[in-house]
Structure 1
Amino acid sequence: MVGRKTNWVLTFLLILGALLILFPLYLTITIAFKTPQEMAHSLLALPQNWTLNNFISAIEMTHFFRAFQNSAIITVSVVILTLLTNSLVAYAIARNLHKRFYKLLYYYFVSAMFVPFPIIMLPIVKQTSQWGMDNLVGLIFLYIVYGLAFNVFVYVAYIKSIPYELEEAAIIDGASTWGVFWKVIFPLLSPMNATVGILTCLWAWNDFMLPLIILSDRELATLPLVQYIFQSQFSTNYNLAFASYLMALTPMIVVYIFAQKWIISGVTKGAIK
């Protein structure tokens, strides 16, 4: 059996890419646990005394748990409602694309991806303020609506690949339109649900601009917004800043690690079908 040749160029690029990702993460972790004196002495060295004082101070200064709760409420609500509503819209469009109205509706939704956010930013601020939507509920609603364009695009493409005969068989067995979607189509959307769910989760958790222009009450601030508000306090103490960044980053790392298996499982099931 002839052995495979090692592609040294590809190997080097992969190692270089891994270092570019791991090195900033290494600095973030070590600086978060160091004292200012240790960081001034050596930036790359490991902390001499691993302490949680930076994290405790960062939690107090940023009201971390309150901001964490706000971000968690927004992210969980947006992910669940996005999967339920956007998939329904995409299903209705995908199965009726032969009709002129639904085809125009599809292009109307997709065209929203090409509208720059700064163009609609000021009207959104004015409308949300007038309608009393400058709160978490209004923010959740906007995330669901703004994600509709991309999500409909990917959902429709995937639903079109699902054989219509499966739905016909369910209808013959007595299933209603709602029953066909929830019992047949929605389980088959596992790969897309996983993809849309993770992208929506990362977007809602890490987004800074929309909470900045929508939320007027500091009590409702999300983690990215809180870190921005208190940035002046961190400007002379990078240890507190990096401790705060690490705490805000950790939940998304955990979510992504656990969600990977759902993506792989969904893609595998889709390939088997």
Structure 2
Amino acid sequence: MRQKTNWVVTILLIIGSITILFPLYITIVNAFKTPQETAKSILALPQNFSFDNFTRAIEMTNFYQAFGNSFYITLFTVILTVLTNAMVAYAIARNMHRRAYRFLFYYLVSAMFIPFPIIMLPIVKQMSSLGLTNPTGLIILYVVYGLSFNVFLYVGYIKAIPKELEEAAIVDGCSRWGVFWRIIFPLLTPMNATVGILTTLWAWNDFLLPLVLLSERSHQTLPLVQYVFQSQFSVNYNLAFASYILALLPMILVYLFLQKWIISGVMKGAIK
């Protein structure tokens, strides 16, 4: 039987797609234009596609240093997040019958509803007093701030893993630590991938936390160096758009190739 088309949903999807694709089109098209061509029309295609804007953007932003900073911060954030958050979630998931662990779970989940600007200044002051206004401090904050959402995903997934697997391993002489690393952690591969990808997208694209925490220019990440195109009275949009594309391209590729892990992992963690 032929299904009827839901025109309301279809129209909403079309509007949503246009809302997303239209700014992306403007960014890409104007990244290859001269300021004169942009002044005439921001919608028209460039007369001659030129990569001069990209070359100048790389020079003005010190792109390779900023790229290295973003890569370093993102890499270690993902590694530490997956390792530590998985252990915390395992401890909570296997002890939810205890009041303390149940309280800890709901306490962590409730932290997702606290806006960062509310605690921004106290956090910056505390990190400054500890001498951690650098990439290392930023990595620590990313790992801690990601704990709430990641524990929520991990706990739902771990609950679906039969406890009999752990009991059998313990009978065979495996320690609790060994059970986690040899049995549980390999079974968490789909969720580890999901958490890793989401953390990568967040740490790479984040602007506010590096802005308020990093004190030295040599530590700036790719989102921060976009300020170089903005003067007191104007913005060089052509160079800015070119730089935006350079900064976003790695994460766009990551999402396009790994989006199935993100969607499936979130669904499994929420439903199970």
- TM-score, structure 2 as length reference: 0.90
SS at match of 1:223: coil
For 1:238, the equivalent position in structure 2 comes to: 237
For 1:43, the equivalent position in structure 2 comes to: 42
Q: Deviations over 1:180-219 (max 9, x none)?
A: 2122222222332233222211111111111111111110
Q: CA deviation at 1:128?
A: 1.3
Residue 153 (str. 1) matches residue 158 (str. 2): no
For 1:141, the equivalent position in structure 2 comes to: 140
Moved more, 86-95 or 235-244: 235-244
| Contact 1:234 1:240 (8 Å CA) reproduced | no
- 1:1-273 map, 5 Å: 2-232=1-231, 235-263=234-262
Q: CA deviation at 1:168?
A: 1.6
**CA shift in 2, pair 1:176/1:107, >3 Å:** same
Q: CA deviation at 1:258?
A: 1.8
Q: CA deviation at 1:140?
A: 0.4
2-structure distance, mates of 1:254, 1:235 = 31
1-structure distance, mates of 2:12, 2:211 = 38
Runs of at least 5 residues in structure 2 that lack an aligned partner in the other structure:
none
2-structure distance, mates of 1:178, 1:26 = 51
| Contact 1:191 1:267 (8 Å CA) reproduced | no
Moved more, 123-132 or 81-90: 123-132
| Contact 1:234 1:241 (8 Å CA) reproduced | no
2-structure distance, mates of 1:21, 1:144 = 30
- TM-score, structure 1 as length reference: 0.90
Q: Which amino acid aligns with 1:44?
A: L
2-structure distance, mates of 1:268, 1:123 = 35
Q: CA deviation at 1:230?
A: 4.1
| Contact 1:211 1:225 (8 Å CA) reproduced | yes
Q: Deviations over 1:153-191 (max 9, x none)?
A: 221122122221121222233322222212222222233
**CA shift in 2, pair 1:173/1:267, >3 Å:** farther
RMSD: 2.4
**CA shift in 2, pair 1:198/1:233, >3 Å:** farther
Moved more, 88-97 or 195-204: 195-204
SS at match of 2:18: helix
Q: CA deviation at 1:83?
A: 0.6
| Contact 2:157 2:191 (8 Å CA) reproduced | yes
1-structure distance, mates of 2:115, 2:7 = 42
2-structure distance, mates of 1:11, 1:202 = 28
Q: Which amino acid aligns with 2:21?
A: L
Q: Deviations over 1:70-92 (max 9, x none)?
A: 01111111111101100100101
1-structure distance, mates of 2:258, 2:75 = 14
1-structure distance, mates of 2:71, 2:177 = 30
Report sequence identity in percent. Answer: 71
2-structure distance, mates of 1:168, 1:237 = 63
Q: Which amino acid aligns with 2:48?
A: N
Runs of at least 5 residues in structure 1 that lack an aligned partner in the other structure:
none
2-structure distance, mates of 1:263, 1:117 = 24
**CA shift in 2, pair 1:247/1:103, >3 Å:** same
**CA shift in 2, pair 1:48/1:229, >3 Å:** closer
2-structure distance, mates of 1:161, 1:214 = 39
Q: CA deviation at 1:60?
A: 0.9
Q: Which amino acid aligns with 1:120?
A: I
